[in-house]
Amino acid sequence: MAEHRLPATPETTVDVFDRDTPPVLTVDPGDSVVVGSLDAAGYLERRVDGPTMFSDRRGHCLTGPIAVRGAEPGLVLQVHFASITPGDWGWTTAAVKDNALNRRLGVAGGPASRLTWDIGDGTATSNLGHTVAVAPFLGVTGVPPAEPGPHSTIPPRAAGGGNIDCRDLVAGSTLSLPVTVPGALLHLGDGHAAQGHGEVGGTAIECPMTTRVTLTLSADPVVPGIHAETPEGRVTFGFDADLNQATADALDTMLTWLQRLHGVDKPTALALASPVVDLRITQIANETWGVHAVLPHGAIR
C-alpha cells in the first residue's frame, strides 16, 4: 500500500463542503496519507492577527478533498488515525458570539477572551501562564453532502460527519463515515490540541496539525450511520438541533451494536447499556448539538 503526503497549500485547502470540488489527491483503498492542516481560521503565521489562507473565509480551513478509488454511496469510508501531531502553537477564544448560552452565562456583549498557547512536550501553556495536557484530534473529518452546491463546514451532519468535534477520536481510532458521493471526497482539518467534552467556550486549543490516516472501504458496517472504535471503546453519534433527539440517535445506534455483539433483543440491549454505556455531550458550539455514546472495551464480558 502506498503512502502519500498532502500539505496545506492554497491549492489543497477549501473552506466549504462541495461535492463538485475536484479532488486534490486520489488514493487506493488501504493507502495512507500524511495530511497537513492549518488551524480552523487558516492562519499562515504563528500569530492570531496574521494573514490567513482565505481573505474572506466562509468556514474551517480544511485540507482536501481526497478521493478514494471505488468509493460509492452505499459503502463506508473507514478513516484510521495512525498519528495526530499538533503544531507548536494554538489559540482559544470565548464569549465571542451573542448566543443563548453566552447570554445565560452573562458573557455576551462584553469583552471576549483570547488565549494563545505554546505547545510542546505533551502540554500547552497559555500567554497567562496556565498549563494543560494536550490530547490532539481533528475537529473536522467528513465528506460532503450529496446535495450539490457549497455547504457550511460548521454544523456536523448525520450524513457525512464533518465538524464532529469529538475529543475521543485520538490516535489509534477508526472513524466510519457512510459514503455520500462518488470518491467519498474526504476533508480533514480543524486541529485541536486539547478540548473538553462540549467545547463549551466555542473553540478548543485551535492549532495546525499533521495527521497520518489510512483509508479503507467497507460494504458491511457493524452498525448504520457514523460510528467509531477508539482506544477506549465503541462510539456512536447523534447530531440534531434538539439535544434530546441527538441523545436518542446516539443511544439507538449503540443499542443496535449491543444487539449484534451479544445476540439480544432491544430491551435487553438497553438493560445492558444502562450499567456501562456513557453518554457524552460531544459539542454545543456548532449550531447542531452533538452527543456520543461510549461502550468501553471489556465492559461486558
pLDDT tens figures, 258-275: 999 999 999 999 999 999
Domains and CATH numbers, the chain: 3-218 (2.60.120.580), 227-296 (3.10.28.20)
Q: What's the pLDDT at 69?
A: 98
pLDDT tens figures, 102-112: 999 999 988 99
Tell me what the mean pLDDT of segment 269-291 comes to.
Answer: 96
pLDDT tens figures, 138-177: 999 999 999 999 999 999 999 999 999 999 999 999 999 9
Instruction: Name the residue type at position 57.
Output: R
Tell me what the mean pLDDT of segment 123-132 comes to.
Answer: 98
For residue 25, the number of C-alpha atoms closer than 13 Å in the C-beta half-sphere is 27
First to last CA, the chain: 36
Confidence of residue 12 (pLDDT cuts 50, 70, 90): very high
Ramachandran angles phi, psi of 83, nearest 5°: -155, 150
Given a cut of 90, whether residue 1 has pLDDT beyond it is no
Tell me what the mean pLDDT of segment 17-46 comes to.
Answer: 97
Given a cut of 90, whether residue 287 has pLDDT beyond it is no
Q: What's the pLDDT at 79?
A: 98
Ranges 62-66, 215-219, 284-288: which has the least confidence = 284-288
pTM of the model as a whole: 0.97
How many angstroms separate the Cα of 20 from the Cα of each of 58, 163, 182, 213, 227?
17, 20, 10, 23, 26
How many angstroms separate the Cα of 228 from the Cα of each of 24, 72, 76?
26, 20, 12
Q: What's the pLDDT at 158?
A: 96
Angle between the 266-276 and 243-262 helix axes, to the nearest 10 degrees?
Answer: 110
User: Rounded to whole angstroms, how far apart are CA atoms 231 and 253?
Assistant: 19
Q: What's the pLDDT at 110?
A: 86
Confidence of residue 49 (pLDDT cuts 50, 70, 90): confident
SS3 content of the chain, % helix, strand, coil (to 5): 10, 40, 50
